[in-house]
């Protein structure tokens, strides 16, 4: 059973089916999660299970945007405007930069063709500087306790100085539009979700959407990643992915997506 932080607030529990898991064991775990008031989703085993596996391509997209000189605060603002409860930089600070860095290494080793970046990333920079996020008061942002003792986020000029060496040629990222930011972040996540469907890590688009809404805070009004993809159009998204093909396999649509684009279908149709 895989819970999500903060456990008292996050409703999702991934129930992982191993190669030798009996139906009775799975049913017991599902019933136990439901009895706790959680929403259980059964997924098959793989590195990262479902939710973390599809989250790290999103973080990889974030690292590539920073490499292209895009301000992390701008990325956070654009993604919160899209509907996420927090942007990727803030999310990494909340998760813990050290935790994120370790998990990223695991995912890169498991899926090197698309999750191994091959360059020193913003996550590496923060980790090496021991800026672990909220847990020690500095990450992409810095944190000081508010009147209630909760960490309040502030801009830290030192973070920008640390990031300068990992930006290509000191680019200011002005050529990257808000639409490009959304497309690059969401396409990376969508393509990996589609791969998980192809590999039967998750049984249906409905379960995947539920897992992302309840486990990651995916914008509920968008209905989940596959509902969002169908609303935009899979063919449209595959066309958008072509624009970013130079960034590597992270933006290569899955075979499933390519087929849906050809037939004009959607994940739910």
pLDDT class for 32, splitting at 50, 70, 90? very high
Assess contact for 129 and 162: CB atoms under 8 A. yes
Gap between the Cα atoms of 198 and 126, Å rounded: 35
Gap between the Cα atoms of 257 and 261, Å rounded: 6
pLDDT class for 129, splitting at 50, 70, 90? very high
Residues 6+ apart with CB under 8 A from 158: 138, 142
- pLDDT beyond 80 at 169: no
Residues 6+ apart with CB under 8 A from 108: 115, 116, 117
Total Cβ atoms within 10 A of residue 185: 25
Looking at residue 173, its pLDDT comes to: 80
- pLDDT beyond 90 at 11: yes
DSSP per position, 93-138:
HHH-HHHHHHHHHHHHHHSHHHH---S--HHHHHHHTT--BTTTTB
Active site residue 2: yes
Residues in the chain: 269
Gap between the Cα atoms of 228 and 222, Å rounded: 6
Q: Which whole number is the average pLDDT over 201-217?
A: 97
In Å, the largest CA–CA distance within the chain is 57
pLDDT class for 170, splitting at 50, 70, 90? low
Domains for the chain: give ranges and CATH numbers. 1-45 (no CATH), 51-170 (1.10.1040.50)
pLDDT tens digit sequence for 142-163: 999 999 989 999 999 999 999 9
Looking at residue 168, its pLDDT comes to: 79
- pLDDT beyond 80 at 12: yes
Q: Which residues pair with 2 in a beta bridge?
A: 14
Looking at residue 171, its pLDDT comes to: 66
- pLDDT beyond 90 at 25: yes
pTM over 0.75: yes
Catalytic residue chosen out of the listed positions 2, 101, 116, 135: 2
The 3-state DSSP class for residue 12 equals: strand
pLDDT class for 5, splitting at 50, 70, 90? confident
- pLDDT beyond 80 at 204: yes
Query: Dihedral through CA 64, CA 217, CA 76, CA 182, nearest 10?
Result: 60
Q: Which of 28-42, 61-75, 166-180 has the lowest mean pLDDT?
A: 166-180
Gap between the Cα atoms of 188 and 207, Å rounded: 19
pLDDT tens digit sequence for 80-94: 999 999 999 999 999
**Measured CA angle at 48 (ends 265, 255), to 5 deg:** 25
DSSP per position, 134-196:
TTTTBSSSEEEE-TTSPEEEE--HHHHHHHGGGSGGG---TTS-HHHHHHHHHHHHHHHHHHH
């Amino acid at each position: 059973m895989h819970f999500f932080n903060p456990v008292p607030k996050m409703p999702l529990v991934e129930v992982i089916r191993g190669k030798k898991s009996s139906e009775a064991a799975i049913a017991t775990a599902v019933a136990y999660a439901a009895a706790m008031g959680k929403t259980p989703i059964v997924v098959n085993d793989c590195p990262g299970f479902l939710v973390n596996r599809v989250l790290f391509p999103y973080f990889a997209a974030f690292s590539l945007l920073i490499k292209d000189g895009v301000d992390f605060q701008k990325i956070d603002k654009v993604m919160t405007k899209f509907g996420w409860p927090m942007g990727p930089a803030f999310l990494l600070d909340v998760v813990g930069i050290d935790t994120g860095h370790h998990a990223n290494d695991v995912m890169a080793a498991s899926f090197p063709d698309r999750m191994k970046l091959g360059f020193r990333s913003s996550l590496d920079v923060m980790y090496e500087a021991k800026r672990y996020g909220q847990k020690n008061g500095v990450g992409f942002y810095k944190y000081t306790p508010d009147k209630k003792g909760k960490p309040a986020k502030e801009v830290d000029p030192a973070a920008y100085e640390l990031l300068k060496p990992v930006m290509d040629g000191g680019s200011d990222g002005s050529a990257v539009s808000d639409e490009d930011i959304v497309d690059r972040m969401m396409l990376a996540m969508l393509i990996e979700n589609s791969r998980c469907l192809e590999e039967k890590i998750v049984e249906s688009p409905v379960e995947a959407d539920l897992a992302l809404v309840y486990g990651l805070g995916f914008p509920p009004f968008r209905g989940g990643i596959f509902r969002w993809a169908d609303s935009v159009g899979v063919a449209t998204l595959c066309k958008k992915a072509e624009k970013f093909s130079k960034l590597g396999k992270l933006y290569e649509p899955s075979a499933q997506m390519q087929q849906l684009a050809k037939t004009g279908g959607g994940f739910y149709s």
